[in-house]
A and B are shown apart, each in its own frame.
Chain A
């Protein structure tokens, strides 16, 4: 299948400041691509480049096989939803939604039919004669979506569309966007700084930092096998534990030695036979540290740890201990017996750990 969006060697700079460096991304029809990263990482700029709202300094960009590098936004067959919704304040909801069709000279009958369909789809029929100023945040969000949907474009672009909503509404709309994607089978590119949004919505995630792509992959690839320490730390909540450790070759396996808070150390035996340098950073997800006997799958290694803090969170209880001079969070069963100040046996799943090089942050296994 030919990629619907293909970005090759894209550069973007303002004066001498490089905002985006050598971006290469391709997605297939029906994909949900999420661009995620901390603020200032260039993800919104990349989206604006895809839309044609920002000129590209180098590289090429094609949509559905056609070169769009220097084509103006209106000829790219895209629709965009903005963070501030950007509804036209003096027009009614109906006029907002049909503006694009009116500009393109679509005949009024088709306009009315499409408007009706989209209004039903988003349940905004009763709002059509109101102005944006009279709508709540969630309603404005729906209208902004309607304005994009009615266009039926090759590519939907979303620029942090949920960040102005309150927490509850954000989760609702997230589910709705996901349902919309499934029902329409449309291709979407979505920018967010919220890694949970990225994980739940995407079929493909691009993690960015400082204008450089850190990793491209499916949500599970990104989550299970982060390419470097930045991705490991950024994706997931609570974040992946990154524990400084010493690796020592021992027969077919490796001994991982980690200093604990009492001046001693714990030793974990990795039997996967990775070729590791002496100094490594061990990356463990909080859910891969459990109480002994609660998990059946994986390769478990038990170790005694001193519990510093116990944080019940309803479904789980987070237990914080100190290993290798870092705070390490374990996600335990809600009814755990762990108590602050007491010792607790924790079971590390070594089949799922990541190893990183301390200097470069690069993944080793």
Chain B
């Protein structure tokens, strides 16, 4: 009698568990659809002709797939008075992002190494101020930065934008490397000092080879920040040095007459592709690096 009761509730709880599991999957699937919907609309719209966009349904698949919009967006869309597409601006962004990411990552690594392993008087205050730099809103630094760039003679140039991004990124890159390097035992530095190695030798030979996960995290973070930046790009550039985010805005906002939604969508996807690519290639290391400090041991 009691056995029967027990097995009955056992079956019921089993059923409940399966039902809840299915409910969870359905919910997750719904959320995934919701978040993927804009990308789907962007991709399909960019592959349609203007005629089809006007007459067709927003979420319908394209009847005739055409890459005309992509070609236009890349090479001949108008950004104001010029009609060269996003191509020159894409390369501007590359010229800004690549050096800025490299410099800020390297300097951040050295900063983090110093703060974590070469304790000096006031190291904590130094680090706290660095950290504070992460939380200063972009808008606050616009005017002082414009004045600085002017004084340095690099206003409106690509080196100027690199400089801005390096300075603004240092807080974050230092934080990342510092938190990674504090988990490395201090005895390692001591052993190397006794072995006769100096400041930079210890950095190059011992710390840098250990740093791949955190370098990946920092590069992804910095690349995403710098590539997607609009405010600095629009404030500190002039015609010819604008990054792709600014160009995209100009393409979308400066067209007159019929809105070329397909061209807009294609240009937007082009602008977003590099960051997407970085995540796909290095995302595995990103998760690993973010959790490396916490689960070590």
Name A residues whose Cβ lies closer than 8 Å to a Cβ of B: 48, 51, 53, 72-74, 78-80, 82-84, 86-91, 99-100, 103-104, 147, 151, 157
Chain B min CB distance to A230 (Å): 29
A-B pairs, 5 with minimum CB distance = A100-B195, A86-B191, A74-B196, A90-B209, A86-B187
A74 touches B185 (CB 8 A): no
Residues of B contacting A88 in the complex (Cβ-Cβ under 8 angstroms): 188, 191-192, 205-206
Contacts of B188 in A (CB 8 A): 86, 88-89
Q: A89-B210, A90-B206, A90-B210 are in contact. Are A84 and B197 (CB under 8 A)?
A: no
List residues of chain B with CB under 8 Å of any chain A CB.
Answer: 185, 187-188, 190-198, 201, 205-206, 209-210
A228 to B148, alpha carbons, bound, how many Å? 69
Q: A74-B196, A90-B206, A99-B197 are in contact. Are A53 and B185 (CB under 8 A)?
A: no
Quote the shortest CB–CB distance from B215 to chain A (angstroms). Answer: 14
Check B187 against A82 for contact (C-beta < 8 Å).
Answer: yes
B195 / chain A contacts, CB cutoff of 8 Å: 74, 99-100, 103, 147, 151
Residues of B contacting A151 in the complex (Cβ-Cβ under 8 angstroms): 195
Residue of B nearest to A159 (CB): B187
Q: List 17 A-B contacts (CB under 8 A).
A: A73-B193, A73-B194, A74-B194, A78-B194, A80-B191, A80-B194, A82-B187, A82-B191, A86-B187, A86-B190, A89-B210, A90-B210, A91-B205, A99-B195, A104-B196, A147-B195, A151-B195
Whether the Cβ atoms of B194 and A53 lie closer than 8 Å is: yes
Contact A100 B185 (CB under 8 A): no
Contact B205 A99 (CB under 8 A): yes
Instruction: Give the CA-CA distance A225 to B196 in the complex, in Å.
Output: 42
Known: A86-B185, A90-B206. A103 touches B191 (CB 8 A): no
A74–B198 Cα distance when bound, in Å, is 9
Task: Pick from B192, B194, B205, B206 the residue with the most CB of A within 10 Å.
Answer: B194
Picked from B193, B197, B201, the residue with its CB within 8 Å of the CB of A53 is: B193
A53 & B206 in contact (Cβ 8 Å cutoff): no
Neighbour of A84 across the interface among B187, B192, B206, CB < 8 A: B187
Question: CB distance A83 to B187 under 8 Å?
Answer: yes
Chain A residues with CB under 8 A of B193: 53, 72-74
Known: A74-B196, A84-B185. 17 other contacts (CB 8 A): A51-B190, A51-B194, A73-B193, A74-B197, A74-B198, A78-B194, A82-B190, A83-B187, A84-B187, A86-B185, A88-B192, A88-B205, A90-B209, A99-B195, A100-B196, A103-B196, A104-B196
